[in-house]
A and B are shown apart, each in its own frame.
Chain A
């Protein structure tokens, strides 16, 4: 994974989303509420508990407001009257309300803790399921870091939104209303004085949030860019060291850091401003109320207890008011997270044959594909693998660019092994991805034994076609599990046979726990050649009807390659196979060879025939131009056949990770 251009890039959230994502672009008219409403299907199962929690929150918060009233009663009643029993009663009341408040706090949290963790988990499972079924073209466009941050950070943010801002927007609004009523009822003049700054304050908080969100977004983008610089410096360390280029990289790093510093300080300035207002404005109002109240107490219009209660209530209302801005900001962010989540969930899984009607339920992609059973049966007379007029252009290719494959006609007869040869970037790898429908053809058709692959459900298609990629990926599982993934009904016997074919028996048996050894990212790390051989074993373990291999022997040394080839030739006897080959040694595996050039198949024949007939083929296999001696840089003269093969597209293999 190290050096692929896409995987390393975890740049800024906005710029790294290569899709024309409507949510990532700062659209002025986006409705946060509408975004958040989309969460309803996930919230529905917990709606009762969530509403109960909100209710409990409101009650608890109002109980808190009762405490100043009790204080007032205590001061004006029993204390003034020197009534011991009354003091005890007041104390008991205070204690009771306090205990109730604490209990309700706990109850609120208890009500939502597990259900909301469940919502988070359900959304994550859905996202994962969806992503697994989205086409490879989608994954080519999205850095996996972007997907991961949706599955983790964004979903955590959403859970917290449900647990906190959503509830507290309700609770705090209710508290403010109740508190204001209490204050106005107690002494409306004082009430008005204290309430005066509330409205402007809430408005200022809102205004601030809008500006702050912009700065915060910019800071996030810049952190993303900085991370990209760091990532590249780490992933490309051998290049940097190899060329002694520390200084130019460090310059880029410092430039990015300075930008970030600037933005962060701007954020701090905004934050400092709003906090200054939040601190000062209500205090001034409370001060005014105090002075006014003192005069009224002196005039005997107001009891001391009422003044104390009044001031406590004003104090208690401060947090609910201040928090509105932040709660709204968090909601806004949750809306963004929701958009990011649904950005993935809304990407349609290409309709599967015979499973069309199931796909109308976008939230929950089917875990398995039951349509597999209803697939049309393949005709009896095997026709092998046939590509007719296949054209392919990457969905994200610039409009003017020539297609990668431009009318490929190719027939691999049943039981035959055909090698596919072509210059660097001629589209060989792309072509192999079309057969198991990892990419969809732009036009033309591919048939397996006469059945169009688009009429087969993917599940069925992929059980017919086994593949081995140039970049062998092993999963975190045992050797046996990794290999047996290739065949649904394969057992221990088939496992041994496959390992033998791939010449992997020797090293696998030497592993600490043989075929039970954990490999992959969390297990033992194997060399490139070892991984490639296991991937090969995986491809052949199920004795597939069709096999597609992309340069499957590239990492093997000469001797192993020869041994694998001998075994493979035998194993492929009944299999229709398409093998991408870079070298003569791999070509020998095949019965016939097809030359891919300029997006078309330009020659088909045996290795020897093509060596004779096609100068381009000869050049590819021997590095020399049709048997002539190379003159200077002749092979690279633009416009010759070889150059043409290269030009067809600059794409293909880079997209294969």
Chain B
């Protein structure tokens, strides 16, 4: 299960507490399959290793296509800020020039200049702001679009072994929360941060130009301010990290309870959960308060520094005006500028935080994008020989194939195996024997660590995806349904299939009846009300998909586990009729499946320990005979 962040506040209003809020983290998805790697690999942490500078390179590559717009936005902002900051200068000019000129000489020229200047600046500030926001938004939104697209495509390109280890929850939170924090920075933080920097630079320059002394004094005040900001950054990072850990604990507990509401209520865990939740919630409350107070500390100390600086500069300036060393208008302008100069420091803390959180997100995304698919597309794809006739299987050969985890643990010891075209092979063995791995090698979800897998003599690694997926289809235990109608879900097997073909496939697998009983039949949306579809029914839909795809090689990995006996029989019948002649590999812990197999492989500890026809093995004295006897007894 996952969380999207909804209910975001619209845009930057100046609450310094806002950007620092942790976005709802995504609790991790289902427990990893039993065959996961050991605990100390980087997949257990959120951040995947990325080459140094990857975040920066990523950002650069995202911005590069838009460099002209970025340059335009920069120019717009520079000019806009110049127009904004001209105000106090015009005040100084009005007091020092226009007043005397008007009073003494009756000269309206300077006054008109002030009026025109102010009008032009005001209008320019508005128009340029308009242009800047639109330009920046075009860049930002396209960058986000590109980033989302990249994460999406990359996640699709990465191999199944990656997905086995990197939980779906984390992957989804990369594409949602992490992109979201970058969006916040681009939409709200960055623009504000740039505006602040440019305005500070302008104001300092103007102050220096107005009066070297006043300017220098203002610059000097930035030393303590910079120290304060730095100190705040360090301290806030620590407390925010604590806070996000605390909220993550709350979220995990919450999600666990909601997802397991049946056992929670059945076993009367409510009171115990309340207590545990109170504890976690309280911990978050404490550290949340700490975080808010940290911000308060920063605001007080920076505001104090700023106000002191204003007072000191004004007193000094006043002295000099009194001495005649400074024009009154200049002092007035300086005072106005000083107020403006220190106005944004409260917000600065907030933007730095959003910068930090965006940087952390970018790092996570860069780490994800740095992952290379372990099952790459071939550089020069080769084709498959034409099938003898439609509906004919293909020969599968495992040649010296071995499979180990990256950590070195061996899953499948080197073996050779030939499955003639059209043969149905059942693979049995206990959990962890390597059955699924065998299937995944054939589907090229994994590549073997050594040796090769050949399909009609062609190495799977030389086939492009389209050819491979046309030829080999795997149906797994988890029959995932996509949002959309039942018909659309079946059509995943062959998108150009007609409605008649879709219904034909459903009929062949015995799914037609329950589908027509759904509120809208084949057009029932599987995610909508009334669309409750049981686990067994989902598996039937998955089978209909496979039938429609009509592959040369079909792999069933525990694909009948949720079916009842008639459902299982329907599948077996379909394999016997519709799929007759295809090469099939069937993995099942229920031995009824073995009945339809031409051949049985028994796996134990990564080795094929028995291989023969069901009759041979049943008659023998090996493991399969034992298992089969136990199973038959259970039917008695």
**CA–CA, A83 and B274, complex, Å:** 69
Report A-chain residues with C-beta under 8 Å of the C-beta of B532: 5, 394, 650-655
Chain A 286-326 residues near chain B, CB threshold 8 A: 286-288, 290-291, 293-295, 297-300, 304, 307-308, 311-312, 315-316, 319, 323, 326
Task: Decide if B503 is an interface residue (CB 8 Å cutoff).
Answer: no
B33, B137, B163, B535: which contacts A265 (Cβ < 8 A)? Answer: B137
Chain A 478-524 residues near chain B, CB threshold 8 A: 485-486, 520-522
Closest CB-CB distance, A370 to chain B, in whole Å?
Answer: 11
Given contact pairs A304-B332, A473-B263, A652-B534, A239 touches B480 in the complex (Cβ within 8 A): yes
Chain B 439-487 residues near chain A, CB threshold 8 A: 443, 445, 465-466, 468-470, 473-476, 478-483
Task: Decide if B569 is an interface residue (CB 8 Å cutoff).
Answer: yes
Top 7 closest pairs, chain A to chain B, by CB: A98-B307, A244-B469, A280-B126, A287-B118, A268-B137, A653-B534, A91-B315
Q: Is the CB of A234 within 8 A of B163?
A: yes
Q: Is the CB of A264 within 8 A of B137?
A: yes
**CA–CA, A585 and B631, complex, Å:** 8
Besides A241-B160, A284-B118, 9 new A-B residue pairs in contact (Cβ under 8 A), listed by A number: A120-B285, A124-B250, A139-B261, A227-B176, A235-B29, A290-B114, A462-B268, A642-B566, A655-B532
Q: Is the CB of B266 within 8 A of A424?
A: no
Closest CB-CB distance, A348 to chain B, in whole Å?
Answer: 16
**CA–CA, A267 and B141, complex, Å:** 11
Q: Sample 6 A-B pairs with CB under 8 A, ordered by A number.
A: A102-B307, A153-B23, A230-B172, A233-B155, A243-B473, A522-B252
Task: Decide if B133 is an interface residue (CB 8 Å cutoff).
Answer: yes
Q: Is the CB of A636 within 8 A of B318?
A: no
Q: Is the CB of A128 within 8 A of B133?
A: no
Task: Decide if B630 is an interface residue (CB 8 Å cutoff).
Answer: yes
Closest CB-CB distance, A470 to chain B, in whole Å?
Answer: 8
Given contact pairs A242-B476, A623-B565, A438 touches B266 in the complex (Cβ within 8 A): yes
Given contact pairs A232-B483, A238-B480, A276-B127, A308 touches B274 in the complex (Cβ within 8 A): no
Q: Is the CB of A129 within 8 A of B527?
A: no
Given contact pairs A619-B566, A652-B534, A234 touches B288 in the complex (Cβ within 8 A): no
Chain A 623-657 residues near chain B, CB threshold 8 A: 623-624, 630, 633, 635-636, 638, 642-643, 646-647, 649-657
Q: Is the CB of A473 within 8 A of B262?
A: yes
Closest CB-CB distance, B539 to chain A, in whole Å?
Answer: 9
Q: Is the CB of A623 within 8 A of B512?
A: no
Report A-chain residues with C-beta under 8 Å of the C-beta of B3: 10, 145, 148-149, 152
Of B87-95, B207-215, B411-419, the one touching chain A: B87-95
Task: Decide if A48 is an interface residue (CB 8 Å cutoff).
Answer: no
Given contact pairs A3-B538, A121-B284, A269 touches B261 in the complex (Cβ within 8 A): no
Report A-chain residues with C-beta under 8 Å of the C-beta of B34: 525-527
Closest CB-CB distance, B258 to chain A, in whole Å?
Answer: 4
Q: Is the CB of B149 within 8 A of A424?
A: no
Closest CB-CB distance, B357 to chain A, in whole Å?
Answer: 14
Q: Is the CB of B328 within 8 A of A304?
A: yes
Report B-chain residues with C-beta under 8 Å of the C-beta of A163: 15, 17, 292
Q: Is the CB of A2 within 8 A of B304?
A: no
**CA–CA, A421 and B528, complex, Å:** 28
**CA–CA, A90 and B318, complex, Å:** 9
Of A253-261, A353-361, A568-576, the one touching chain B: A253-261
Chain B 465-521 residues near chain A, CB threshold 8 A: 465-466, 468-470, 473-476, 478-483, 492-493, 495, 507-508, 510, 512-514, 516-519
Task: Decide if B98 is an interface residue (CB 8 Å cutoff).
Answer: yes
Q: Is the CB of A233 within 8 A of B156?
A: yes
Closest CB-CB distance, A249 to chain B, in whole Å?
Answer: 7
Report B-chain residues with C-beta under 8 Å of the C-beta of A125: 274, 277-278, 281
Q: Is the CB of B119 within 8 A of A246?
A: no
Report A-chain residues with C-beta under 8 Å of the C-beta of B15: 160, 163-164
Chain B 273-314 residues near chain A, CB threshold 8 A: 273-274, 277-278, 281-282, 284-285, 288-289, 292-293, 295-297, 299-301, 303-304, 306-308, 310-312, 314
Report A-chain residues with C-beta under 8 Å of the C-beta of B221: none
**CA–CA, A135 and B532, complex, Å:** 18
Report B-chain residues with C-beta under 8 Å of the C-beta of A239: 476, 480, 482, 492, 542, 545
Q: Is the CB of A250 within 8 A of B268?
A: no
B255, B322, B483, B508: which contacts A87 (Cβ < 8 A)? Answer: B322
Closest CB-CB distance, A67 to chain B, in whole Å?
Answer: 8
Task: Decide if B396 is an interface residue (CB 8 Å cutoff).
Answer: no
Q: Is the CB of B281 within 8 A of A75?
A: no
**CA–CA, A529 and B34, complex, Å:** 10
**CA–CA, A360 and B72, complex, Å:** 62
Report A-chain residues with C-beta under 8 Å of the C-beta of B2: 8, 10, 145, 227, 231
Closest CB-CB distance, A622 to chain B, in whole Å?
Answer: 7
Task: Decide if A21 is an interface residue (CB 8 Å cutoff).
Answer: no
Q: Is the CB of B145 within 8 A of A261?
A: yes
Task: Decide if A57 is an interface residue (CB 8 Å cutoff).
Answer: no
Closest CB-CB distance, B70 to chain A, in whole Å?
Answer: 16
Task: Decide if B247 is an interface residue (CB 8 Å cutoff).
Answer: yes
Q: Is the CB of A398 within 8 A of B519?
A: yes
Q: Is the CB of B250 within 8 A of A294?
A: no
Task: Decide if B231 is an interface residue (CB 8 Å cutoff).
Answer: no
**CA–CA, A592 and B542, complex, Å:** 34
Task: Decide if A39 is an interface residue (CB 8 Å cutoff).
Answer: no
Report A-chain residues with C-beta under 8 Å of the C-beta of B432: 527
Q: Which residue of A lies closest to B155 (CB)?
A: A234
Task: Decide if A567 is an interface residue (CB 8 Å cutoff).
Answer: no
Task: Decide if B79 is an interface residue (CB 8 Å cutoff).
Answer: no
A71, A236, A465, A633: which contacts B480 (Cβ < 8 A)? Answer: A236
Given contact pairs A294-B111, A633-B507, A635-B569, A246 touches B445 in the complex (Cβ within 8 A): no
Given contact pairs A136-B265, A297-B95, A276 touches B129 in the complex (Cβ within 8 A): yes
Of B6-14, B233-241, B609-617, the one touching chain A: B6-14
Q: Is the CB of A131 within 8 A of B152?
A: no
Q: Is the CB of B322 within 8 A of A157?
A: no
Task: Decide if B205 is an interface residue (CB 8 Å cutoff).
Answer: no
Task: Decide if B171 is an interface residue (CB 8 Å cutoff).
Answer: yes
Given contact pairs A436-B266, A650-B532, A290 touches B90 in the complex (Cβ within 8 A): yes
Given contact pairs A136-B262, A315-B336, A555-B561, A95 touches B308 in the complex (Cβ within 8 A): yes
Report A-chain residues with C-beta under 8 Å of the C-beta of B145: 257-258, 260-261
Task: Decide if B21 is an interface residue (CB 8 Å cutoff).
Answer: yes
Of A29-37, A185-193, A330-338, A441-449, the one touching chain B: A330-338
Interface string of A192-229 (1 = CB under 8 A from B): 00000000000000000000110010001001101110
Report A-chain residues with C-beta under 8 Å of the C-beta of B250: 124, 151-152
Q: Is the CB of A144 within 8 A of B259?
A: yes
Q: Is the CB of A269 within 8 A of B155?
A: no
Task: Decide if B216 is an interface residue (CB 8 Å cutoff).
Answer: no
Q: Is the CB of B535 within 8 A of A653?
A: yes
**CA–CA, A475 and B253, complex, Å:** 9
Task: Decide if A78 is an interface residue (CB 8 Å cutoff).
Answer: yes
Q: Is the CB of A308 within 8 A of B336?
A: yes
Closest CB-CB distance, B174 to chain A, in whole Å?
Answer: 9
Q: Is the CB of B534 within 8 A of A622?
A: no
Q: Is the CB of A2 within 8 A of B480?
A: yes
Q: Is the CB of B160 within 8 A of A237?
A: yes
Q: Is the CB of B7 within 8 A of A114?
A: no
Q: Is the CB of A585 within 8 A of B635?
A: yes
**CA–CA, A486 and B272, complex, Å:** 13
Q: Is the CB of B36 within 8 A of A287?
A: no
**CA–CA, A67 and B335, complex, Å:** 10
Q: Is the CB of A117 within 8 A of B114?
A: no
**CA–CA, A170 and B332, complex, Å:** 31
Task: Decide if B27 is an interface residue (CB 8 Å cutoff).
Answer: yes
Given contact pairs A102-B300, A269-B134, A312 touches B262 in the complex (Cβ within 8 A): no
Task: Decide if B425 is an interface residue (CB 8 Å cutoff).
Answer: no
Task: Decide if A476 is an interface residue (CB 8 Å cutoff).
Answer: yes
B7, B163, B292, B495: which contacts A154 (Cβ < 8 A)? Answer: B7
Interface string of A580-623 (1 = CB under 8 A from B): 00111100100000000000000000000000000000011111
**CA–CA, A283 and B13, complex, Å:** 20
